[in-house]
């Protein structure tokens, strides 16, 4: 029997109290912006729909999450969701994204958009294997960082185990790894793919924790951190390397307390991958890292 599966994370929407403040932050991060339908739409170098949509709101909060599905499966997803008791509908704001809309059992708006492109990082400059004799490599490295594509999003959720089960059943996610009782990393699509494109963090209420965009190298991460720091966005964490998924990272705190991440060199998984429950900290370096699952990195600053 054919299993319906989302292919990858297509984007997300945030309500923010000041669109200009949000636009300045995300364009400094390296995204391209356009104003459309009273929103700010933000794009990486990946073609396709806007990966982040900023909408006016009283406070910063997660507005919706969008996943790409195969276009010919949209109607099948509509029937499947109807059978699960979360039927598709047309909200007043539906024009901000094409595709199907529905609310999960906790009230979060989910969008499914037909998109056939498989996210793939453009070929960029690399250090590994390049000749180093009689060269000033430091003069050749790109200084202006433009992320390749949206990679993943983590969100807080109550009823953590029930939420994991719902997303697996409704959208065909498969769990990649867990930290028991704290976080579930989930993958979409078939074949070889990123270790995760979505994740659920056990929390008191729904909320946005971080979004993450792919860059090519550790130098891109470093220069991304530098361009944010030079623009006045100085509160960050990293660089470092995660344990689960193994990716390199740097996090920058946004103007409302959440995070955005540059990442590179993530583990790829295949159909043979076996999920496990872990107890390790989420990074292997730096040793002085804050506690990711709570405290500094995980204050859920969104209104209940």
The DSSP 8-state label assigned to residue 89 in this structure reads B
Contacts of residue 20, Cβ cutoff 8 Å, sequence gap at least 6? none
> What is the C-alpha separation between 63 and 55, in angstroms, rounded?
8
Write the pLDDT tens digit of every residue in 153-172.
999 999 999 999 999 999 99
In eight-state DSSP terms, residue 262 is: E
Provide CB contacts within 8 A for 67, sequence distance 6+: 6, 7, 8, 9, 10, 110, 111, 112, 113, 171, 188, 198
The pLDDT value given to residue 123: 43
Give pLDDT, residue 2: 72
Which pLDDT value is given to residue 71? 96
Phi-psi label, residue 265: left if phi above 0, alpha if psi -120 to 50, beta otherwise: left
pLDDT of residue 151: 97
Strand ranges (E), the chain: 8-16, 32-36, 39-43, 52-56, 61-69, 100-103, 109-114, 149-157, 174-179, 183-187, 193-194, 198-202, 207-214, 236-242, 248-253, 259-264, 268-269, 277-278, 283-285
Note whether 70 and 113 are within 8 A (CB).
no
- The structure tokens listed for 163 are 């939420």
- List, for the chain, all residue ranges whose pLDDT scores fall below the cut of 70: 1, 116-130, 289-296
Give the pLDDT confidence score for residue 286 in this predicted structure: 87
**What is the pLDDT, as a whole number, of residue 181?**
86
Q: Rounded to whole angstroms, how far apart are CA atoms 231 and 13?
A: 24
Gap between the Cα atoms of 1 and 179, Å rounded = 31
Alpha-helical regions (H) of the chain = 19-29, 74-84, 137-140, 160-171, 218-230
Whole-model pTM: value is 0.93
Give the pLDDT confidence of 57-75 residue by residue, as tens digits.
Answer: 999 999 999 999 999 999 9
Determine the pLDDT at residue 295. 64
d(CA 242, CA 247): 5
- Torsions phi, psi for 211 (to 5 deg): -115, 155
């Amino acid at each position: 029997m054919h299993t319906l599966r989302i292919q990858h994370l297509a984007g997300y929407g945030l309500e923010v109290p000041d669109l200009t403040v949000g636009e300045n932050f995300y364009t400094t991060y390296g995204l391209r912006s356009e104003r459309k339908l009273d929103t700010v739409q933000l794009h990486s170098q990946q073609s396709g729909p806007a990966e982040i949509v900023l909408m006016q709101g009283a406070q910063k909060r997660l507005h919706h999450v969008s996943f790409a599905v195969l276009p010919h499966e949209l109607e099948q997803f509509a029937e499947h969701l109807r059978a699960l008791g979360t039927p598709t509908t047309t909200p007043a704001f539906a024009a901000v994204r094409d595709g199907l809309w529905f609310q999960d059992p906790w009230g979060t708006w989910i969008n499914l958009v037909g998109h056939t492109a498989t996210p793939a990082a453009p070929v960029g400059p690399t250090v590994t294997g390049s000749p180093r004799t009689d060269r000033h490599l430091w003069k050749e490295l790109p200084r202006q960082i433009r992320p390749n594509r949206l990679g993943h999003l983590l969100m807080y959720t109550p009823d953590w185990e029930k939420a994991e089960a719902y997303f697996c059943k409704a959208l065909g996610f498969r769990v990649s790894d867990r930290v028991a009782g704290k976080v579930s990393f989930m993958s979409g699509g078939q074949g070889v793919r990123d270790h995760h494109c979505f994740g659920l963090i056990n929390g008191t209420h729904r909320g946005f924790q971080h979004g993450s965009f792919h860059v090519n190298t550790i130098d891109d991460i470093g220069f991304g951190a530098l361009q944010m720091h030079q623009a006045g966005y100085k509160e960050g964490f990293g660089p470092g390397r995660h344990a689960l998924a193994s990716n390199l990272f740097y996090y920058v705190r946004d103007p409302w307390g959440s995070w955005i991440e540059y990442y590179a060199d993530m583990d790829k998984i295949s159909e043979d991958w076996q999920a496990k429950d872990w107890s390790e900290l989420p990074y292997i370096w730096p040793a002085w890292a804050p506690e990711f699952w709570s405290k500094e990195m995980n204050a859920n600053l969104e209104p209940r």
